[in-house]
Structure formats: C-alpha cells, structure tokens
Amino acid sequence: LCAGGERSVSYEELKDLKKNNVIHIDVRERWEIDRYGKIPASVNIPLNELVEALQMNPTDFKEQYNQKMPAKSDHVVFSCFAGTRSKQALNFATSLGFS
C-alpha cells in the first residue's frame, strides 16, 4: 500500500488511517477484484482509468464509482497486488495536484 510521500503502509496502519476518513483507492484490475476479493471500504479504479477518473466532474465520478470524488486535499491511500501500480497511482495523483 502506498500513501503520500511514497511511504508504504501496512494493513494495520491502513485500518487506523481509515478511522480518519482516508480514501482508499484499489488500482487492481476488475478481474483481480473478482478473483481475490474487494478490500472493504475501498473504491476500485483500475490504474489505466485513474488519471481520467481523478479529472472527472464530481457528479460523473460518483455515478461511475459510487463514491464521492476525492478532493485534491483529501488523504488518499492507493493499493494494488504487489505495490508497483500503487506507486504509479501515487505519482499520477501527485502530478494532477493531489497533495
């Protein structure tokens, strides 16, 4: 799991972060979610959709992903299967102005 500043967080740390309204975006592919399961209280946005999703109109984002669109100042954690895609997701979000 990747959090701001390219820092990795453990599952236990993520559980604590989620108590503080952290938005958890799982960037695995949909077939991975089907095969391995959804992480509770996460939103699945495959990595190849992420840049477009983070630039959507908030109403369209809510309709597409059934979740409020994160603001650029919100705390966001990205996860994937092994960590590579979550680091890419963090770089994409940072390049779009997310802090």
Question: Where in the sequence numbering do the catalytic residues fall?
Answer: 80
Backbone angles phi, psi at 68, to 5 degrees: -65, 140
In sign, the C-alpha dihedral spanning 82, 24, 63, 74 is negative
Take residue 9 and report the two structure tokens written for it. Answer: 């967080």
User: CA dihedral defined by 53, 69, 55, 17, rounded to 10 degrees?
Assistant: -80
> What does the alpha-carbon distance between residue 57 and residue 66 come to, in Å, rounded to a whole number?
13
